[in-house]
Amino acid sequence: MTVAPKKITADQIAGVIAEKFKGRQEITCYVGSNAATPTASLEALTAAIKVRRPQLPFVKMVHLLLQGPVPYVEEGLQDRVMTYSIFSAGDVRRAANEGRAYYLPCTLANLASLIGKGRKYEPNVVFLKVRQNEHTGEYSLGLSVEALHTAIDYAEVVVAELDASMPFTQGQSVVDAQSIDYMIEDGVKPVYQFAAPDFDNLSAAEKRIGELIAARFIADGITLQVGIGKIPDAVVGTIRDAGYRDLGVQTELYGDGLMLLEKEGIVTNRKKKANLGYSTTSLIMGSEELYDFVHMRTGVQMRPSAYTNAAQTVRRNSPFVSVNTAIGVDLLGNVWADFIDPRRYYSGVGGQPDFIRALNDRTYGPPIIAMKSVTDRGASKIVKMHPPGISLTASAYDGIVLVTEYGIADLRELTSGEKAMAIASIAHPKFRDDFLRSVYEDSLFTKAIGFYLDKTPPGVQMYAGGITLEEGE
């Protein structure tokens, strides 16, 4: 006989936790993330923490990116609740930079092991959202699977918000009723939606990057992973217009761009070796159209991030193309994406290192880092040396492919001197000559015999298309 979850209201959560963990000094809560952030539960728990009624243990909140308000990071609550954020934005990012929240570095492939049985962050309580199938009665984790199955398996209390605004997704998102202890139905806030990218009005620089990647690396039958942002959007837009066929998708985050390719019949997943016939992802985030598209769709299936980001899964689906972006890269090929500088935390590593290291042999496919050559303020994103003390998402020994609007620098199998010349060659023209000269004149970088500054370095393909950059780009 199926045991149904007990129905409670959000303001009863604190009482449930206080009673269950009476006498405990500390508990760990794992929170479902991204578009499926359980905001009503977080707000209710924080309200109880603020007034200290009921008396609760010290609460450690562990999670990926949260959308909407995150009230427990407010100043003055850190003696009662503390955040351990694996990926951040907004209020949590601000709190981490001000010493009111911890940044917990972890790639998505390793997330389940971080919170597994006997680990430091093994959860006592899980907060999440679910959608119920009206025909079968099953529950789906909808837009956020990531490591929630691991969290549910080991938690003593699982609290779910029943949210009809969330799509019922297929695959390993389905959970049985016995896995949920308490269900909240009233006062639940809808899932978070985001405007779809405008693929027809990208900047000239973004279009050039998309054109370079699509022309050089995309081919019929490849499997694709792309992040979300203007640069990955440009790649998707170019793929859409180039007439490729039978692409596959295996990604950590599925957005409107990948949906567009699937609607256009470009993504069919017919050539995949693992998960033949459907796109696989651990998270979905985007527009209402996207959520309608994935609802009950067997062609888009959820998997834990430990699977979607696993090296063996990536390699089974080769030829594989991974496209991510970064904050900066230095002339040695070091890449950083979670910090702007060592004193300014920005987000998290996500799955970027997972895909880069899964593709460490060129026979599997290229791990691409695509970025505009300069920031919005005109500073070069390519620098001579990375800021001392900054954490790296790719090191000089990781063979990445760097793409800017000026060209491609395929750093795989190059010497340090060749890497430096290749990276300098695709910097913005305002900085390029200085970078090239500094490398050429530095004895640290051994140059190939017969190489001169007017020659194109090994591994470099300069942009030769017809898109003209606008002034200031």
| 473, pLDDT greater than 70 | no
| 267, pLDDT greater than 70 | yes
Which CATH code of 3.90.245.10, 3.40.50.10320, 3.40.1080.20, 3.40.50.300 fits the domain covering 204-462?
3.40.1080.20
Q: What is the 3-state secondary structure (H, E, C) of the chain?
A: CCCCCEEECHHHHHHHHHHHCCCCCEEEEEECCECCCCHHHHHHHHHHHHHCCCCCCEEEEEECCECCCCHHHCCCCCCCEEEEECCCCHHHHHHHHCCCCEECCCCHHHHHHHCCCCCCCCCCEEEEEEEECCCCCCEECCCECCCHHHHHHHCCEEEEEECCCCCCCEECCEECHHHCCEEECCCCCCCCCCCCCCCCCCCHHHHHHHHHHHHHHCCCCCEEEECCCHHHHHHHHHHHHHCCCCEEEECCEECHHHHHHHHCCCECCCCCCCCCCCEEECEECCCHHHHHHHCCCCCEEECCHHHHCCHHHHHHCCCEEEEECCCEEECCCCEECCEEECCEECCCCCCHHHHHHHCCCCCCCCEEEECCCECCCCCECEECCCCCCCCCCECCCCCCEEEECCEEEECCCCCHHHHHHHHHHCCCHHHHHHHHHHHHCCCCCCCCCCCCCCCCCCCEEECCCCCCCCCCC
Top pLDDT among 473 and 306 is at 306
Which CATH code of 3.40.1080.10, 3.30.43.10, 3.90.480.20, 2.60.40.10 fits the domain covering 6-184?
3.40.1080.10
State pLDDT tens for residues 288-319: 999 999 999 999 999 999 999 999 999 999 99
* pLDDT (average), residues 25-33: 98
* pLDDT (average), residues 114-141: 96
| 74 carries an active-site annotation | no
pTM across the whole model: 0.96
pLDDT score, position 471: 65
* pLDDT (average), residues 94-105: 97
| 212, pLDDT greater than 60 | yes
| 2, pLDDT greater than 70 | no
Instruction: For the chain, give every domain's residue range.
Output: 6-184, 204-462
State pLDDT tens for residues 312-340: 999 999 999 999 999 999 999 999 999 99
* pLDDT (average), residues 205-233: 92
pLDDT score, position 3: 80
From 252, 262, 405, 418, the catalytic residue = 252
Same fold flag, 6-184 and 204-462: yes
pLDDT score, position 453: 75
| 58, pLDDT greater than 90 | yes
pLDDT score, position 455: 83
The rounded distance, in Å, linking the Cα atoms of 456 and 263 is 40
Which of 5-19, 130-144, 443-457 has the least mean pLDDT? Answer: 443-457
pLDDT score, position 443: 86
* pLDDT (average), residues 1-8: 84
pLDDT score, position 264: 95
Residues 6+ apart with CB under 8 A from 156: 20, 124, 125
* pLDDT (average), residues 178-207: 94
Report the percentage of the chain scoring pLDDT > 70: 98
State pLDDT tens for residues 71-87: 999 999 999 999 999 99
* pLDDT (average), residues 428-446: 91
Mean confidence (pLDDT) of the chain:
95
